[in-house]
Structure 1
Amino acid sequence: MSAPHEVQAVWKVMAESPEPAQQDQRSDSTRPSEGRRARRDSASARLVMISAVLGALLVFTVAAALNWPSSDAPRSGVGEQRTSAAPPPPFEAAAGTCLNWTEPDASDLRKVNCSEPHLFEMTGKSEVWARFGPDAPFPSTEVFNEIKTKRCTDVARRYLDDRFDPNGRFEVSAFLPSRESWQNGDRTLHCALQQPGPAGKLYRFNDEVAELDQSDTYEVGTCLGISGTSLSSPVECSEQHSVEIVGVADLSEEFDGGFPATEDQDKYLITTCQERLKDYAGSKNAAEDKGLALYWDNLEKQSWQAGSRKVNCKVAAPQEEDDGFSPVTGSVAAEVSISDQPAPTTSPTPGVPATGTR
């Protein structure tokens, strides 16, 4: 999300570099298929999940036993030792499968109905044999992240019939081969969609992504926390925060044809967001009167083509020197105070399930 005026807020940093032109010999699987089983060496006991949000990389192991007969069946936790000599079951979660967990290390990972709150929606598989042959060393986390971003974005587009918004509220993630299964020849990425917040925590969502609005918006009245001068997880507006959401603007109310240029969006949004601020705080000049700046997001062409139409109108106290934020306490609808000192820096663990709604 970016603002062309007072603030340039970088919400997501995802490393991506071009893939080799050579095509994989194996095709990607992007739709649900009953009875299909991932090709696995029986020694593969675990997979690795990787997530990149705001430049931070997270890798943690999760139990691979996802083909249990019941979603309530017990499964091995990350730190448990297996006492049975039987080989572990292969990872199997077809596209369209929804997964949820509550533990920070995902040790209680389980399948759930997609109508229930969940953290992952599986989108399909991608093989990376063309890039990593049988003798290729186990890639670094950074390389895995690059692969995940490129390949799983492609898988998500196919899964959603070219209606995936790469700049929207959902991001790609993946279960990756463990070091052991990599050595045994496993080169499969199990791609998924997740809903992260600005600090990297994962927020649950209900229903399938195909049925949801992918516009990257927050509810009116939400205040995003602050870490140093950067965005963080939502907090109460009575606490120090970076941004307050004062409205939602639907560009489809003004533009019903092709993608509107950024300049045209701005002409519409400057008056629309002033009206939203007036509705929220009693005056279209409420932000300026209290030392804050009113700004908004713009939609990119990829987002428009995917069906996203909504953006947030926001107020904040931007710092001109580094594109960051000064801490604000209180709501623009009441009384606010702006600190001239940076907020304390926090280091939340990306990928940990968040409480509440995004």
Structure 2
Amino acid sequence: MTQSWRSATAVRILLVGALVSTAGVGAYSFSSQSEGSSKQSQSRPSSDSKASAASFTTADSGSCLTWKDDQGKITNFEQADCAGEHRFEVSSREDLRAYPASEFGSEAPMPDLTRQAQLREELCLNPTIQYMKGTFDQMGKYSVASILPPQDAWSKGDRTLLCGVQATDDKGTLIPTSGRAAEQDQSRIFRPEECVLVDAASATRVVDCAADHQMEITAIVDLQPVFPEGTPSLEQQDTHLRQVCTQAAQDYLGGDDPLYFSTLQPFWTTLPENSWAGGSRSVNCALVFGQDRKFATLAGGARTGFTINGQPPASRPVRAPIVNPEALIGPHPEPARP
């Protein structure tokens, strides 16, 4: 099979769509020990009889928070230095007592998950984008989330809502981060040696390499040093990554011959203009097998033995030494689709 090269367009169709479907948004209420505070929310108080209830936290815009999560039981909820490890960065502080109507009055139950998601859209999205000052890739590793008081504080009248950003993995599990979000590389990427399944909905998730998957990651590439002057076009990224990811594939498998006989092809992701503007700078190199403009199903690690659609890789003829390897990296055909 003639070696083919994955184009920037193919990757955008596959992974940008996948990230849209998997980028999570969270809403939390902590039914556990709170940080404890006597500071009142800065929003307009209501005339509710519980309006003087103390807030469960003093955290405000710019604060970072962390906690321990023991199988869903949240403890040690506290503010943390944003330069160090934390789980949540506060973009705004809202008071639901200022919300129109009496939806969040003194006897109102805590909003369910559906209503929390609506509140996140209504109250958190725009303040978070403003807080990030334009440096926010909504398809990157950070997502907008909200935190409500623990149940006991809510019952006493606390209606504080914290808006902010958090990082999650492909399973939606919170990932501790260090440093302010607007100053980080926001790319949602996979680590080398991870195998990635692309499901029927084009969502991606890491799986054991022994299980069915479509990609095996070979490298992470930081594009910032390559394009320091500004946003690179997809064609510029494609040109650079074609060589970098081919080399990454060879290094990963132990040379050009192992890559040739594996029948696998180098593959890479790219960053659209809005992701670059939003603070993402890194992409992935991977190994795939493209067939009929689709990704084949791989099972097993590329370095330890694998099958392609349930069959071992096809035998390839022994070839003469390559005098000009760069000549292999030429124009690529129509992109494979998932």
TM-score normalised to structure 2 length: 0.64
Question: How much has 1:311 moved relative to structure 2?
Answer: 0.9
Residue 64 (structure 2) pairs with residue 97 (structure 1): yes
Gaps of 5+ in 1: 15-52, 70-86, 342-358
Aligned AA (2:91): T
Aligned residue runs from structure 1 range 236-315, under 5 A: 237=209, 241-283=213-255, 289-315=261-287
Local SS of the residue matching 1:201: coil
Question: Retained in 1: the 8 A contact 2:87–2:176?
Answer: yes
Local SS of the residue matching 2:305: coil
| Alpha-carbon distance in 2 for matches of 1:201, 1:242 | 22
Q: 1:135 to 1:213 in 2, by over 3 A?
A: same
Question: How much has 1:274 moved relative to structure 2?
Answer: 1.2
Local SS of the residue matching 1:193: strand
Residue 22 (structure 2) pairs with residue 5 (structure 1): no
Residue 121 of structure 1 corresponds to 89
| Alpha-carbon distance in 2 for matches of 1:142, 1:306 | 28
Question: Retained in 1: the 8 A contact 2:68–2:74?
Answer: yes
Q: 1:249 to 1:158 in 2, by over 3 A?
A: same
| Alpha-carbon distance in 2 for matches of 1:143, 1:337 | 46
Local SS of the residue matching 2:190: coil
1:295-337, Cα deviation, whole Å (9 max, x unpaired): 222212232223432211122356879x77724211x244322
Residue 355 of structure 1 corresponds to none
Residue 184 of structure 2 corresponds to 212
Q: 1:246 to 1:59 in 2, by over 3 A?
A: same
Local SS of the residue matching 1:265: helix
Q: Percent identity?
A: 23
Q: 1:315 to 1:177 in 2, by over 3 A?
A: same
| Alpha-carbon distance in 1 for matches of 2:125, 2:273 | 16
Q: 1:181 to 1:110 in 2, by over 3 A?
A: closer
| Alpha-carbon distance in 2 for matches of 1:109, 1:340 | 48
Residue 266 (structure 2) pairs with residue 326 (structure 1): no
Residue 194 (structure 2) pairs with residue 194 (structure 1): no
Aligned AA (2:88): F
Question: Retained in 2: the 8 A contact 1:276–1:313?
Answer: yes
Residue 173 of structure 1 corresponds to 145
1:112-167, Cα deviation, whole Å (9 max, x unpaired): 4445543222232256899x621459876445425425753433333333322222
| Alpha-carbon distance in 1 for matches of 2:91, 2:158 | 22
Residue 30 of structure 2 corresponds to 62
Aligned AA (2:55): P
| Alpha-carbon distance in 2 for matches of 1:148, 1:285 | 52
Aligned AA (1:304): W
Question: How much has 1:278 moved relative to structure 2?
Answer: 1.9
Aligned AA (1:66): S
Question: How much has 1:246 moved relative to structure 2?
Answer: 0.8
1:177-233, Cα deviation, whole Å (9 max, x unpaired): 789959x794x5411222211122222223433443223233333334677885324
| Alpha-carbon distance in 2 for matches of 1:287, 1:89 | 63
Residue 232 of structure 1 corresponds to 205
Question: How much has 1:264 moved relative to structure 2?
Answer: 2.8
* Count of residues in Structure 1 that have an aligned counterpart in Structure 2: 279
Local SS of the residue matching 2:70: coil
Q: CA RMSD in A?
A: 4.2
| Alpha-carbon distance in 1 for matches of 2:234, 2:97 | 40
Question: Retained in 2: the 8 A contact 1:165–1:306?
Answer: yes
Residue 37 of structure 1 corresponds to none
| Alpha-carbon distance in 1 for matches of 2:8, 2:36 | 47
Residue 329 of structure 2 corresponds to none
Local SS of the residue matching 1:216: coil
Aligned AA (1:68): G
Q: 1:178 to 1:110 in 2, by over 3 A?
A: closer
Q: 1:88 to 1:115 in 2, by over 3 A?
A: same
TM-score normalised to structure 1 length: 0.61
Residue 154 of structure 1 corresponds to 126
Question: Retained in 1: the 8 A contact 2:237–2:270?
Answer: yes
Larger mean CA deviation between 109-118 and 132-141 belongs to 132-141
1:83-114, Cα deviation, whole Å (9 max, x unpaired): xxxx9742322232221222233422522444
Gaps of 5+ in 2: 1-6, 38-51, 105-109, 312-338
Residue 81 of structure 1 corresponds to none
| Alpha-carbon distance in 1 for matches of 2:64, 2:119 | 22
Residue 81 (structure 2) pairs with residue 110 (structure 1): no
Select the structure of larger CA radius of gyration: 2
Larger mean CA deviation between 107-116 and 188-197 belongs to 107-116
